[in-house]
Amino acid sequence: MAASAWVTDSSSNSKKGTHPMGILQGKRILVAGVTLDTSIGFATAKVAQEQGATVLISNFGRALNITKRIASRLPVTPPVLELDVTDDDHLARLADSVREHVDGLDGVVHSIAYGNPRTILGGNFLEGPWPDVAQAVHVSAYSLASLTKACLPLMQPGGSIVGMTFDASVAWPGYDWMGFAKGALESCNRYLARDLGPQGIRCNLVSAGALNTLAAKAIPGFELFEDEWVKRAPLGWDLDDLEPTARTVVALLSDFFPKTTGEIVHVDGGYHAMGA
Protein backbone atom coordinates (compact mmCIF):
# COMPACT_ATOMS: atom_id res chain seq x y z
CA MET A 1 0.00 0.00 0.00
CA ALA A 2 1.37 3.36 -0.96
CA ALA A 3 2.24 5.66 1.92
CA SER A 4 -0.09 8.30 0.51
CA ALA A 5 -3.07 6.03 1.17
CA TRP A 6 -3.07 7.00 4.84
CA VAL A 7 -4.68 10.43 5.14
CA THR A 8 -3.72 12.22 8.36
CA ASP A 9 -5.55 14.79 10.42
CA SER A 10 -3.46 17.50 8.81
CA SER A 11 -5.22 16.92 5.50
CA SER A 12 -7.45 19.80 4.48
CA ASN A 13 -10.15 17.22 3.87
CA SER A 14 -10.13 15.72 7.38
CA LYS A 15 -13.07 17.83 8.58
CA LYS A 16 -15.04 17.35 5.38
CA GLY A 17 -14.96 13.57 5.32
CA THR A 18 -13.73 13.51 1.71
CA HIS A 19 -10.74 11.24 1.20
CA PRO A 20 -10.50 9.99 -2.38
CA MET A 21 -7.48 7.84 -1.51
CA GLY A 22 -8.97 6.36 1.65
CA ILE A 23 -9.05 2.57 1.90
CA LEU A 24 -12.64 2.70 3.24
CA GLN A 25 -13.88 5.12 0.60
CA GLY A 26 -17.63 4.61 0.15
CA LYS A 27 -17.95 2.00 2.91
CA ARG A 28 -20.55 2.11 5.65
CA ILE A 29 -19.29 1.12 9.08
CA LEU A 30 -21.00 0.58 12.44
CA VAL A 31 -18.71 0.91 15.46
CA ALA A 32 -20.57 -0.60 18.41
CA GLY A 33 -19.35 0.36 21.86
CA VAL A 34 -18.01 3.93 21.74
CA THR A 35 -17.96 5.73 25.08
CA LEU A 36 -15.05 8.08 25.70
CA ASP A 37 -12.66 9.63 23.20
CA THR A 38 -9.92 7.57 24.87
CA SER A 39 -11.53 4.31 23.71
CA ILE A 40 -10.43 2.01 20.91
CA GLY A 41 -13.92 2.35 19.41
CA PHE A 42 -13.58 6.13 19.18
CA ALA A 43 -10.08 5.89 17.68
CA THR A 44 -11.37 3.37 15.13
CA ALA A 45 -14.30 5.60 14.16
CA LYS A 46 -11.88 8.50 13.66
CA VAL A 47 -9.47 6.59 11.43
CA ALA A 48 -12.38 5.03 9.50
CA GLN A 49 -13.75 8.48 8.73
CA GLU A 50 -10.30 9.71 7.72
CA GLN A 51 -10.17 6.76 5.32
CA GLY A 52 -13.44 7.71 3.65
CA ALA A 53 -16.05 5.67 5.52
CA THR A 54 -19.51 6.75 6.58
CA VAL A 55 -19.55 5.83 10.26
CA LEU A 56 -22.31 5.16 12.76
CA ILE A 57 -21.55 4.61 16.46
CA SER A 58 -23.58 3.17 19.33
CA ASN A 59 -23.96 2.91 23.07
CA PHE A 60 -26.83 2.64 25.57
CA GLY A 61 -28.08 3.57 29.00
CA ARG A 62 -26.37 6.34 30.93
CA ALA A 63 -23.33 6.10 28.67
CA LEU A 64 -25.41 7.03 25.62
CA ASN A 65 -25.43 10.72 26.53
CA ILE A 66 -21.64 10.67 26.95
CA THR A 67 -21.31 9.10 23.51
CA LYS A 68 -23.55 11.76 21.99
CA ARG A 69 -21.36 14.49 23.46
CA ILE A 70 -18.03 13.03 22.33
CA ALA A 71 -19.36 12.20 18.84
CA SER A 72 -18.82 15.84 17.87
CA ARG A 73 -15.08 15.40 18.44
CA LEU A 74 -14.82 13.12 15.42
CA PRO A 75 -13.92 14.61 12.01
CA VAL A 76 -17.57 14.22 10.98
CA THR A 77 -20.25 13.98 13.67
CA PRO A 78 -21.80 10.52 13.16
CA PRO A 79 -25.28 9.26 13.96
CA VAL A 80 -25.40 7.74 17.47
CA LEU A 81 -27.63 4.69 17.84
CA GLU A 82 -28.99 3.26 21.07
CA LEU A 83 -27.86 -0.36 21.22
CA ASP A 84 -27.61 -2.70 24.18
CA VAL A 85 -26.24 -5.91 22.68
CA THR A 86 -27.86 -7.97 25.47
CA ASP A 87 -31.33 -6.56 24.73
CA ASP A 88 -33.28 -8.59 22.17
CA ASP A 89 -35.55 -5.65 21.34
CA HIS A 90 -32.57 -3.40 20.60
CA LEU A 91 -31.06 -6.07 18.36
CA ALA A 92 -34.37 -6.67 16.57
CA ARG A 93 -34.73 -3.02 15.59
CA LEU A 94 -31.05 -2.41 14.84
CA ALA A 95 -31.38 -2.95 11.08
CA ASP A 96 -34.21 -0.42 10.84
CA SER A 97 -32.26 2.07 12.98
CA VAL A 98 -29.25 1.76 10.69
CA ARG A 99 -31.41 2.17 7.56
CA GLU A 100 -32.52 5.57 8.83
CA HIS A 101 -28.99 6.75 8.00
CA VAL A 102 -27.48 4.36 5.42
CA ASP A 103 -28.88 1.68 3.15
CA GLY A 104 -26.60 -1.10 4.40
CA LEU A 105 -23.33 -1.95 6.13
CA ASP A 106 -19.96 -3.02 4.79
CA GLY A 107 -18.37 -3.47 8.19
CA VAL A 108 -19.13 -3.83 11.89
CA VAL A 109 -16.74 -3.23 14.79
CA HIS A 110 -17.48 -5.00 18.08
CA SER A 111 -15.71 -2.95 20.76
CA ILE A 112 -17.74 -4.20 23.71
CA ALA A 113 -16.82 -5.95 26.95
CA TYR A 114 -17.88 -5.90 30.58
CA GLY A 115 -17.07 -7.77 33.74
CA ASN A 116 -17.83 -6.77 37.33
CA PRO A 117 -14.41 -5.72 38.67
CA ARG A 118 -15.45 -6.46 42.25
CA THR A 119 -16.40 -10.09 41.69
CA ILE A 120 -14.71 -11.60 38.63
CA LEU A 121 -11.46 -9.66 38.35
CA GLY A 122 -8.62 -8.86 40.71
CA GLY A 123 -7.24 -12.26 41.67
CA ASN A 124 -10.27 -14.08 43.10
CA PHE A 125 -10.78 -16.44 40.18
CA LEU A 126 -11.96 -19.36 42.32
CA GLU A 127 -14.60 -17.18 43.96
CA GLY A 128 -16.19 -15.79 40.79
CA PRO A 129 -20.01 -16.20 41.07
CA TRP A 130 -21.70 -17.72 38.06
CA PRO A 131 -24.27 -14.92 37.49
CA ASP A 132 -21.44 -12.39 37.11
CA VAL A 133 -19.40 -14.77 34.97
CA ALA A 134 -22.45 -15.39 32.78
CA GLN A 135 -22.96 -11.64 32.38
CA ALA A 136 -19.33 -11.20 31.31
CA VAL A 137 -19.61 -13.99 28.75
CA HIS A 138 -22.91 -12.63 27.44
CA VAL A 139 -21.68 -9.05 27.03
CA SER A 140 -18.11 -9.79 25.98
CA ALA A 141 -18.42 -12.93 23.84
CA TYR A 142 -21.94 -14.04 22.93
CA SER A 143 -22.73 -10.50 21.83
CA LEU A 144 -20.29 -10.85 18.94
CA ALA A 145 -22.62 -13.48 17.49
CA SER A 146 -25.85 -11.65 18.38
CA LEU A 147 -24.60 -8.33 16.97
CA THR A 148 -23.42 -10.05 13.81
CA LYS A 149 -26.76 -11.81 13.38
CA ALA A 150 -28.63 -8.51 13.81
CA CYS A 151 -26.45 -6.91 11.13
CA LEU A 152 -26.66 -9.72 8.56
CA PRO A 153 -29.67 -8.28 6.70
CA LEU A 154 -27.58 -5.14 6.12
CA MET A 155 -24.44 -6.96 4.95
CA GLN A 156 -25.30 -8.37 1.57
CA PRO A 157 -23.33 -9.37 -0.43
CA GLY A 158 -20.60 -9.58 2.20
CA GLY A 159 -18.47 -7.46 4.46
CA SER A 160 -16.18 -7.53 7.47
CA ILE A 161 -16.74 -8.06 11.19
CA VAL A 162 -13.90 -7.01 13.52
CA GLY A 163 -13.89 -7.52 17.29
CA MET A 164 -11.46 -6.56 20.03
CA THR A 165 -9.75 -9.10 22.28
CA PHE A 166 -6.96 -9.23 24.83
CA ASP A 167 -4.80 -12.29 24.16
CA ALA A 168 -6.64 -15.20 25.81
CA SER A 169 -3.89 -17.74 25.14
CA VAL A 170 -2.30 -16.97 28.53
CA ALA A 171 -3.45 -16.11 32.06
CA TRP A 172 -2.99 -12.44 32.97
CA PRO A 173 -2.63 -10.94 36.47
CA GLY A 174 -6.03 -9.93 37.77
CA TYR A 175 -7.87 -10.60 34.49
CA ASP A 176 -9.44 -13.85 35.70
CA TRP A 177 -12.95 -14.49 34.34
CA MET A 178 -12.67 -11.71 31.78
CA GLY A 179 -9.80 -13.72 30.31
CA PHE A 180 -12.19 -16.66 30.18
CA ALA A 181 -14.75 -14.47 28.41
CA LYS A 182 -12.13 -13.35 25.88
CA GLY A 183 -11.31 -17.01 25.25
CA ALA A 184 -14.99 -17.55 24.45
CA LEU A 185 -14.92 -14.49 22.18
CA GLU A 186 -11.95 -15.87 20.27
CA SER A 187 -13.71 -19.21 19.79
CA CYS A 188 -16.91 -17.43 18.72
CA ASN A 189 -14.91 -15.56 16.08
CA ARG A 190 -13.72 -18.82 14.54
CA TYR A 191 -17.21 -20.29 14.33
CA LEU A 192 -18.62 -17.10 12.84
CA ALA A 193 -15.81 -17.19 10.26
CA ARG A 194 -16.81 -20.76 9.38
CA ASP A 195 -20.52 -20.09 9.04
CA LEU A 196 -20.40 -16.67 7.37
CA GLY A 197 -17.57 -17.25 4.92
CA PRO A 198 -19.94 -18.65 2.28
CA GLN A 199 -21.81 -15.33 2.44
CA GLY A 200 -18.61 -13.41 1.78
CA ILE A 201 -18.41 -12.09 5.35
CA ARG A 202 -15.02 -12.10 7.08
CA CYS A 203 -14.75 -12.27 10.89
CA ASN A 204 -11.51 -11.35 12.64
CA LEU A 205 -10.26 -10.08 15.98
CA VAL A 206 -7.58 -7.56 16.89
CA SER A 207 -5.62 -8.31 20.05
CA ALA A 208 -4.38 -4.97 21.33
CA GLY A 209 -1.58 -4.53 23.83
CA ALA A 210 -1.96 -2.79 27.17
CA LEU A 211 -3.59 0.62 26.66
CA ASN A 212 -4.79 3.30 29.04
CA THR A 213 -8.46 2.92 28.21
CA LEU A 214 -11.46 3.06 30.52
CA ALA A 215 -11.79 -0.72 30.28
CA ALA A 216 -8.15 -1.29 31.24
CA LYS A 217 -8.37 1.03 34.23
CA ALA A 218 -11.23 -1.09 35.58
CA ILE A 219 -8.93 -4.13 35.83
CA PRO A 220 -7.47 -4.43 39.35
CA GLY A 221 -3.70 -4.84 39.11
CA PHE A 222 -3.51 -3.67 35.50
CA GLU A 223 -0.54 -1.48 36.40
CA LEU A 224 1.48 -4.61 37.26
CA PHE A 225 2.37 -5.29 33.63
CA GLU A 226 2.20 -1.80 32.10
CA ASP A 227 5.93 -1.18 32.59
CA GLU A 228 6.80 -4.72 31.49
CA TRP A 229 4.91 -4.20 28.24
CA VAL A 230 6.93 -1.11 27.40
CA LYS A 231 10.16 -2.92 28.24
CA ARG A 232 9.49 -6.17 26.36
CA ALA A 233 7.74 -5.06 23.17
CA PRO A 234 10.48 -5.15 20.50
CA LEU A 235 8.79 -2.43 18.44
CA GLY A 236 8.24 -0.34 21.52
CA TRP A 237 4.85 0.47 23.00
CA ASP A 238 2.99 3.62 23.97
CA LEU A 239 0.19 2.98 26.45
CA ASP A 240 -1.63 6.12 25.32
CA ASP A 241 -1.39 5.63 21.54
CA LEU A 242 -4.60 4.06 20.21
CA GLU A 243 -3.90 4.76 16.53
CA PRO A 244 -1.90 1.61 15.69
CA THR A 245 -4.78 -0.52 16.95
CA ALA A 246 -7.38 1.61 15.16
CA ARG A 247 -5.44 1.46 11.89
CA THR A 248 -5.31 -2.33 12.07
CA VAL A 249 -9.06 -2.55 12.64
CA VAL A 250 -9.63 -0.25 9.67
CA ALA A 251 -7.29 -2.32 7.50
CA LEU A 252 -9.31 -5.45 8.34
CA LEU A 253 -12.51 -3.60 7.46
CA SER A 254 -11.06 -2.69 4.08
CA ASP A 255 -10.66 -4.81 0.95
CA PHE A 256 -6.94 -5.31 1.65
CA PHE A 257 -7.60 -8.63 3.48
CA PRO A 258 -10.03 -10.37 1.12
CA LYS A 259 -9.13 -13.94 2.16
CA THR A 260 -8.38 -13.46 5.87
CA THR A 261 -10.99 -14.72 8.33
CA GLY A 262 -11.08 -16.45 11.70
CA GLU A 263 -7.83 -14.65 12.52
CA ILE A 264 -6.48 -12.85 15.59
CA VAL A 265 -4.13 -10.02 14.63
CA HIS A 266 -1.86 -8.84 17.43
CA VAL A 267 -1.17 -5.12 17.72
CA ASP A 268 1.06 -5.13 20.78
CA GLY A 269 4.51 -4.10 19.61
CA GLY A 270 5.44 -7.79 19.36
CA TYR A 271 5.02 -8.43 23.10
CA HIS A 272 3.02 -11.64 22.55
CA ALA A 273 5.92 -13.28 20.67
CA MET A 274 8.58 -12.67 23.31
CA GLY A 275 9.65 -15.17 25.98
CA ALA A 276 10.49 -14.30 29.58
* Average pLDDT score over residue span 88-115: 98
Q: Give residue 232's identity as a one-letter amino acid code.
A: R
Tell whether omega for the bond before 117 is within 30 degrees of 0, i.e. cis: no
- pTM given for the model: 0.91
| Residue 215 burial (10 A CB sphere; 0-12, 13-18, 19+) | buried
Closest CA to 50 of 265, 260, 200, 253: 253
pLDDT at 2 over 70: no
Q: What is the pLDDT of residues 6-15, one digit of tens each?
A: 333 433 344 4
Could you tell me where the DSSP H helices lie in the chain?
Answer: 40-50, 62-70, 88-92, 94-99, 130-137, 143-151, 176-196, 214-217, 226-232, 243-253
The answer to whether 175 touches 244, Cβ cutoff 8 Å, is no
Give CA 202 to chain center in angstroms.
Answer: 15
> pLDDT digits over 143-174, tens only?
999 999 999 999 988 999 999 999 999 999 88
What pLDDT was estimated at residue 19?
A: 45
* Ordered domains of the chain (ranges, CATH): 25-268 (3.40.50.720)
The C-alpha atoms of residue 105 and residue 124 are separated, in whole angstroms, by 41
Which amino acid does the sequence have at 208?
A
- Crossing angle, helix 176-196 and helix 143-151, to 10 degrees? 30
Write the CB contacts of 272 (distance below 8 Å, at least 6 apart in sequence).
Answer: 167, 169, 207, 266
pLDDT for 20 equals 57
